[in-house]
Structure 1
Amino acid sequence: MQSVKDRVVLVTGANRGIGKSIVEEFLRAGAGKIYAAARNPESIKPLSDAYGDRIAPLHIDMNEPGSIAVAAKQAADVGIVINNAGMLNIANPLASNAVAAMQDEMEVNVYGLMRMAQAFAPILKANGGGAFVQLNSVASMKNFADFATYSASKAASYSITQGLRDVLQEQGTQVISVHPGPIATDMANSAGLGEIAEPAELVAQAIIDALESGEFHAFPDTMAKQIGAVYRDFASNIVEANLMEG
């Protein structure tokens, strides 16, 4: 169980959408400093203008492993890492671009997650444990045909997040898997989900609640909560259980 107050936080994909909302809500909750990471640090300027030196712009591109390694050296005081950056392609399994689409999504949504965890797990350990938060999706639990490759990549990232939970608990690092449904962002609008999307602030609040409660799963919005309510028994008895103990 952890508080956000006075903590040093890193958020990837912080320049817009859910990431930007997480930065703002965490600052309102009392975070001391936030490393706001984006492919183009110049895009962080509106946050820097609004919040001054509580914002530390950082360059992280999930397609550039070297940028993650450099960022880890620059953010050696971080205590909470929120890996929000991701990508979505619109492709059903039979689409001519499906394989290429999924290759791109796996590079960012899965391999990017693994590189972030490998780079920042030692830092979190050195700083007392902290927390590693991964933005997954309801699409990690239910494949939506028009977004089949994205759903598959998020299923893979959710699986890796479960593995991280088991590995990182040994060093006292809390891992949280966040599963939003349609959230009001540019990504949701481009996917044609704007009419049913809900405010991005719900995601940030769900993360804060999970940090405080010690929960592994976070279901922020209406669709997510509906899925979470049905999924809860499976999650507690299978996903969060140690089945290797027999």
Structure 2
Amino acid sequence: MELNGSVAVVTGANRGLGRHLAAQLLDRGATVYAAVRSPERLDLPGAVPLRLDVTDEESIREAARIASDATLLINNAGISTGTPLIAGEPAAVRREMDTNFYGPLAVTRAFAPVIEANGGGAVLNVLSVLSWFHPGALGAYAAAKAAAWAQTGAVREELAPRGITVTALHVGYMDTDMAASVPADQKADPAEVAAQALDGLAHGLPEVLADDLTRQVKRGLAA
């Protein structure tokens, strides 16, 4: 899709990858709704603050009503609690699924008719290399991202006749708060990841593999 002149809703736009995505969309000529839980704390010049909590259906419906001119949705908001599936607290496992799977699904369901009514557009789902590689210590996160990958493929097929493309972004560790404990040499630059993701969107790619680790794991999965 053409990003210049598009109207984007970016969830989790207050920091990390989401902030880079929103800022780069502004640089590419898009109007950007920065969808965050606390819009009064947003500091992103040029963006339109939009209150949205991906675990709150009422806030999602209200956001879709306000951003009624949207042509692009980026499902970026997510959490990682470091919870294993057997030894971890069930509430934490459910929280990961609510935020990383049910949240993007609810937001996509709300905005799909908006995007369709505006002539079509695109959805970008921020996933992970852990969609395919499932370490026990991060079982809840990996399970949620694997489910989100399946969601992405199914939604892509469902939305194609409505003029909406769906792109999956897969990436390993990035230099953001979520990976603060990871050594710097193992982390990708989120600004570079954002640029790759937006280039993929612009070209209508179904999938963007943003770093060497992710490409290696995908090759192993295919083998």
Same fold (TM over 0.5): yes
Q: Mean alpha-carbon deviation: is it higher for 123-132 or for 216-225?
A: 216-225
| Cα distance in 1 between the residues matched to 2:77 and 2:194 | 14
| Cα distance in 2 between the residues matched to 1:117 and 1:180 | 21
- By how many angstroms is 1:184 displaced? 0.7
Q: Is the 8 A contact 2:85 2:93 kept in 1?
A: no
Task: State the AA in 2 paired with 1:220.
Answer: A
Q: Are 1:39 and 2:37 matched, yes or no? A: yes
Which residue matches 2:10? 11
Task: State the AA in 2 paired with 1:92.
Answer: P
Structure 2 counterparts to residues 161-240 of structure 1, below 5 A: 161-189=152-180, 192-195=181-184, 196-230=186-220
Cα shift readout 1:91-117 (whole Å, capped 9, x = no counterpart): 2233242x2221001111111111111
Q: What secondary structure sits across from 2:189 in the alignment?
A: coil
Structure 2 runs not aligned, ≥5 long: none
Q: Is the 8 A contact 2:9 2:70 kept in 1?
A: yes
- By how many angstroms is 1:67 displaced? 0.3
- Counterpart of 1:131 (choices 106, 122, 141) is 122
Give the structure-2-normalised TM-score. 0.94
Identity, % of aligned pairs? 35
Q: Are 1:56 and 2:56 matched, yes or no? A: no
| Cα distance in 1 between the residues matched to 2:190 and 2:40 | 22
Structure 2 counterparts to residues 75-154 of structure 1, below 5 A: 75-97=67-89, 99-154=90-145
Give the structure-1-normalised TM-score. 0.86
* Alpha carbons of structure 1 residues 78 and 92: separation in structure 2 relative to 1, 3 Å: same
| Cα distance in 2 between the residues matched to 1:211 and 1:223 | 21
Q: Is the 8 A contact 1:14 1:23 kept in 2?
A: yes
| Cα distance in 2 between the residues matched to 1:115 and 1:102 | 18
Total equivalences in the alignment: 222
Q: What secondary structure sits across from 1:47 in the alignment?
A: coil
- By how many angstroms is 1:221 displaced? 2.0
Structure 1 runs not aligned, ≥5 long: 235-246
